[in-house]
Structure 1
Amino acid sequence: MSLNNLVRNASRLVPFAIRAPAGTRWCSHRHYTSALSATVNGCLKDLPFPRSLPSFLHHYSTEISPDESLLNNVNYEIECANESLFAAEAEEEVPEGFPFKIENHVGTETIKLTREYQGETVSVEVYMPNLVTGDEEEGDDPNQSQLPLIVKTSKRGGPYLEFGCTACPDEIVIDSLSVKDPENSEDQIAYEGPDFTDLDENLQKGLHRYLEIRGVKASTTNFLHGYMIDKDTREYVEWLKKLHKFLQA
Structure 2
Amino acid sequence: MLRKAIAGCAVQAPWRMIASRPSTTTASSAVDSILLRSLRDHYQEVAKMTPPPKVSPPSPFTIVKGALENNGPVLKRSYGHEEINLYVMRLTQHYDDDDVIDQLFLHVDVSKPGQKDSMQFLCGLYPDALGIHSVSLRPKLEAGGSLQDPSKYNGPVFGDLDERMRDEFHSYIEERGINSDLFQFLQAWLYVKENRNLMRWFRSVGLFVTDQKSTKGA
TM-score under structure 2 length normalisation: 0.69
- What is the CA distance between 1:199 and its match in structure 2? 1.8
Residue in structure 1 matching 2:111, options 151, 154, 173: 154
- What is the CA distance between 1:209 and its match in structure 2? 1.7
Residue in structure 1 matching 2:79, options 117, 140, 144: 117
In structure 1, C-alpha distance between the alignment counterparts of 2:165 and 2:156, rounded to whole Å: 13
In structure 1, C-alpha distance between the alignment counterparts of 2:197 and 2:73, rounded to whole Å: 12
- What is the CA distance between 1:174 and its match in structure 2? 0.4
In structure 2, C-alpha distance between the alignment counterparts of 1:121 and 1:114, rounded to whole Å: 7
Residue in structure 2 matching 1:193, options 155, 161, 166: 155
Q: Is the 8 A contact 2:68 2:193 kept in 1?
A: no
The one-letter code matched in structure 1 to 2:51 is A
Residue in structure 2 matching 1:141, options 93, 96, 99: 99
Residue in structure 2 matching 1:175, options 110, 133, 147: 133
| 1:224 alignment counterpart | 186
Q: Is the 8 A contact 1:110 1:126 kept in 2?
A: no
1:97 aligns with 2:55: no
In structure 1, C-alpha distance between the alignment counterparts of 2:174 and 2:199, rounded to whole Å: 34
Q: Is the 8 A contact 2:58 2:182 kept in 1?
A: no
CA 1:189–1:148 in 2, change beyond 3 Å: closer, same or farther?
same
Unpaired segments ≥5 residues, structure 2: 1-28, 212-218
| 1:71 alignment counterpart | 36
Q: For the aligned residues, what is the CA RMSD? A: 2.7
In structure 1, C-alpha distance between the alignment counterparts of 2:77 and 2:64, rounded to whole Å: 9
- What is the CA distance between 1:118 and its match in structure 2? 0.6
- What is the CA distance between 1:128 and its match in structure 2? 2.6
| 1:88 alignment counterpart | 51
Q: Is the 8 A contact 1:105 1:111 kept in 2?
A: no
Unpaired segments ≥5 residues, structure 1: 1-63
Identity value in percent: 26
The one-letter code matched in structure 1 to 2:157 is D
Count of aligned positions: 176
The one-letter code matched in structure 2 to 1:177 is V
- Which segment is superposed worse, 173-182 or 239-248? 173-182
The one-letter code matched in structure 1 to 2:45 is C
1 or 2, which has the higher strand percentage? Answer: 2
SS at the partner of 2:177? coil
SS at the partner of 2:99? coil
CA 1:141–1:109 in 2, change beyond 3 Å: closer, same or farther?
farther
CA 1:188–1:156 in 2, change beyond 3 Å: closer, same or farther?
same
- What is the CA distance between 1:200 and its match in structure 2? 2.3
TM-score under structure 1 length normalisation: 0.61
Higher alpha-carbon Rg: 1
